[in-house]
Amino acid sequence: MFSFSNLKRLLVLLLMLPKLSEVYLAYNQINHIEPGTFSNLLNLRLLNLENNKISIVQNGTFSNLPKLATLLLSNNQITVLSEYTDELMSIANVYLKNNPWQCDCRMVSFRQKMVGKRFEDHIICEEPSRLFGQKLKDIEPDDLICDEPQIVTFKMINGNRPVLEGETVILNCDVSGIPTPDITVTLPSGRNATVESGGRVTVEANGIITIENITATESGLYVCLAASPGGSTSANLSIYVQGSSSVSPTSIYVQGPSSVSPTSIHVQGPSSVSPSISFGFEQL
């Protein structure tokens, strides 16, 4: 038996323990497992991954485990098991309870293959809302559909107003569809920002886009793209960022005797107006 704690990510588990039969990884913070992580554990019979944050099961994650008989994946964040299901089908005991299952067109293949498996009662739909609480096994494959995405609105949250350089600007690309569409925002520079992106421009899964310390060079057209297995659609939003500039004078008042240099200069006004100059002298 081998156990771990306080893990967040597994790459390749290089355990030179050919006789290892049980691995316990429950109650960690694991959100991603690279394919082939366990492939050298040829005698592994039990793998416990319950109560983590795993959201995706990739092809090859549980390959080359000829003796694996029990796999525990309950209480994670898995939403879909689609094309790469043969590995799970060959394992005698698979536990998949309490995951936020999305019962849409991506689950058709899995739904057709899981008939008669012990875990078929474990998959209870969380989305879409019309199928909430139903067991996947009780839903006909033709009812597992994906809608074409729609963009309800794409706007600046704090209204249509002048944007000043250095501000934090928040946009909302409100989308709908089954499954929930992925959002990509194309910036005026041509760079794309997604949920996985970092930096000054961040995109949240709910469509909130935050641009910190915006600059005048970021004026232009912003494009929100919503995409899912059901299709894709986009919407545009133009933003003008007013840049800061140095102030040039509109009036200069000079006072003093004609025989000496000016004693005072008064400068006033925005840079967009050409200066007017007046001179005043005291009589000797």
CB 182 within 8 A of CB 265: no
Overall number of domains in the chain: 2
One-letter amino acid at 71 equals: L
Q: How far apart, in Å, are the Cα atoms of 260 and each of 117, 256, 257, 263?
A: 102, 7, 6, 8
- Is the confidence at residue 85, as pLDDT, over 80? no
pLDDT level of residue 267 (50, 70, 90 thresholds): very low
- Quick check: is 261 in a domain? no
Q: Where residue 175 sits, what CATH number does that domain have? A: 2.60.40.10
Domain contains 111 = yes
3-state secondary structure of 205: coil
Structural domain ending residue among the three candidates 207, 227, 242: 242
Check if the beta carbon of residue 90 is closer than 8 Å to that of residue 66: no
What is the model's pLDDT at position 256? 40
Average pLDDT over residues 263-284: 38
- The CATH code of the domain that includes 15 is 3.80.10.10
Assess whether pLDDT exceeds 80 at residue 4: no
Q: What is the pLDDT of residues 6-52, one digit of tens each?
A: 555 554 454 556 678 999 999 999 998 888 888 888 899 999 999 99
**Whether residue 128 sits in one domain with residue 154:** no
Residues 75 and 154 both lie in one domain: no
In a domain, 277, yes or no: no
**What pLDDT, on a 0 to 100 scale, did the predictor assign at position 215?**
95
For 112, the enclosing helix (H) or strand (E) is helix 108-113
Q: pLDDT digit string (tens) for 43-76?
A: 999 999 999 999 988 888 888 899 999 999 999 9
- Out of 120, 143, 166, pick the residue that ends a domain: 143
Instruction: Tell me 6's DSSP state.
Output: S
In this prediction the pTM is 0.73
% of the chain at pLDDT higher than 90: 63
The answer to whether position 165 is within a domain reads yes
Which residue, chain included where needed, has tokens 């849409």?
104
Q: How confident is the model at residue 167 (pLDDT cuts 50, 70, 90)?
A: very high
The predicted structure's pLDDT at residue 166: 94
Residue 267: inside a domain, yes or no? no
Q: What is the pLDDT of residue 144?
A: 96
On whether both 154 and 113 belong to a single domain, the answer is: no
